[in-house]
Amino acid sequence: MFYFFDELTSTIDEARDEKYGHGDVVLAEIQTAGRGQRGKKWSSPPGKNLMFSAVLDTSFLRTEEQFLLLQTVALALVDMFTFWGLDARVKWTNDIYIGDCKIVGVLIDHSLTDDGMLRRSSAGIGINVNQKEFDPVLPNPTSMALELARELDRCEVLEKFYECLMSRFEELKAGGREKILADYHLRIYRLGVPGRFALPNGEEFTATISGVGSGGELLMEVGEEGEGGVRQRSFLFREITFII
């Protein structure tokens, strides 16, 4: 069931309420304290985009498998954009890009059991649908309206995503982990393409993404052929930044 609110602090906070069950979606036109990745604020002009959280029963997943859920949600978003003819990619860890521009942010919230299992999860999602002008401090935003040169019905976008999410989630629940992993791998942003990256201390380097590990770590080939050679490295969340 969909629950619509004019204003919330954040949909992911509201979705923690136990009155919401598997498959419920909490939406808000305005979030006064919406959160994005790395503690950033996520906001949107009313009536333009979609900000919501989907509640999912993840009690069949172990805590160490939580990255599988993020992959599942990301693929559902990719599937939805494919329906509209948009070639979407998953920028590690949890943004969706069209070309070199961000169109979706995802934040996953989990509650756990005492025996190492997930209990329930909420996928907080912000999709840029009809917004055409953005805060200049945002480095590389885009929207469906900008990419398609027309505005869309937000309800239609939401319903299509929900359809894709439920399909991908059932695939995961039915044991389709290998397909989820393989499909995610094919959709990784910058996969196999040399690019520039930065460490937290500001040091920049050239590397090529080779994949993502089962725990969500980014697998990379660092360096260039010749002196020093190419070496394999893995990076965890917040240990590396893309330079776009």
Q: Which pLDDT does position 214 carry in this prediction?
A: 83
CATH number at residue 179: 3.30.930.10
Give yes or no: residues 180 and 76 share one domain: yes
Q: Are 52 and 154 in contact (CB under 8 A)?
A: no
With a CB cutoff of 8 Å and minimum separation 6, the contacts of 152 are 84, 129, 130, 144, 145
Give yes or no: residues 203 and 117 share one domain: no
Give yes or no: residues 227 and 126 share one domain: no
Range(s) of the domain holding residue 145: 2-186
Give yes or no: residues 105 and 168 share one domain: yes
Element (H, E) at 175: none
Alpha-carbon separation of residue 54 from 78, 79, 129 (angstroms): 16, 17, 18
Q: Which pLDDT does position 94 carry in this prediction?
A: 86
Give yes or no: residues 90 and 206 share one domain: no
Give yes or no: residues 181 and 200 share one domain: no
Give yes or no: residues 37 and 64 share one domain: yes
Nearest 10 degrees: CA dihedral of 121, 122, 123, 124?
-150
Give yes or no: residues 180 and 210 share one domain: no
Rounded to two decimals, the pTM is 0.92
Give yes or no: residues 158 and 61 share one domain: yes
The two structure tokens encoding residue 165: 């999410």
- Spatial separation of the C-alpha atoms in residues 240 and 93, rounded to whole Å: 11
| Residue whose C-alpha is closest to residue 52's, from 73, 33, 68, 31 | 31
Give yes or no: residues 164 and 234 share one domain: no
Convert the pLDDT of each residue in 134-167 to its tens digit: 988 888 999 999 999 999 999 999 999 999 999 9
Give yes or no: residues 106 and 135 share one domain: yes
Give yes or no: residues 36 and 149 share one domain: yes
Q: Which pLDDT does position 35 carry in this prediction?
A: 57
Q: Which pLDDT does position 38 carry in this prediction?
A: 46
Q: How many domains does the chain have?
A: 2
- The β-bridge relationship of strands 88-91 and 50-56 is unpaired
| Residue whose C-alpha is closest to residue 189's, from 118, 61, 102, 62 | 102
Convert the pLDDT of each residue in 36-74 to its tens digit: 544 455 557 889 999 999 999 999 999 999 999 999 999
- Spatial separation of the C-alpha atoms in residues 8 and 31, rounded to whole Å: 5
Q: How far is CA 209 from the centre of its chain?
A: 18
Per-residue confidence of the chain (244 residues) as pLDDT tens digits?
Answer: 999 999 999 999 999 999 999 999 999 999 987 655 444 555 578 899 999 999 999 999 999 999 999 999 999 999 999 999 999 999 998 899 999 999 999 999 999 998 989 999 999 999 999 999 998 888 899 999 999 999 999 999 999 999 999 999 999 999 999 999 999 999 999 999 999 999 999 999 999 999 999 889 999 999 766 556 678 999 998 899 999 8
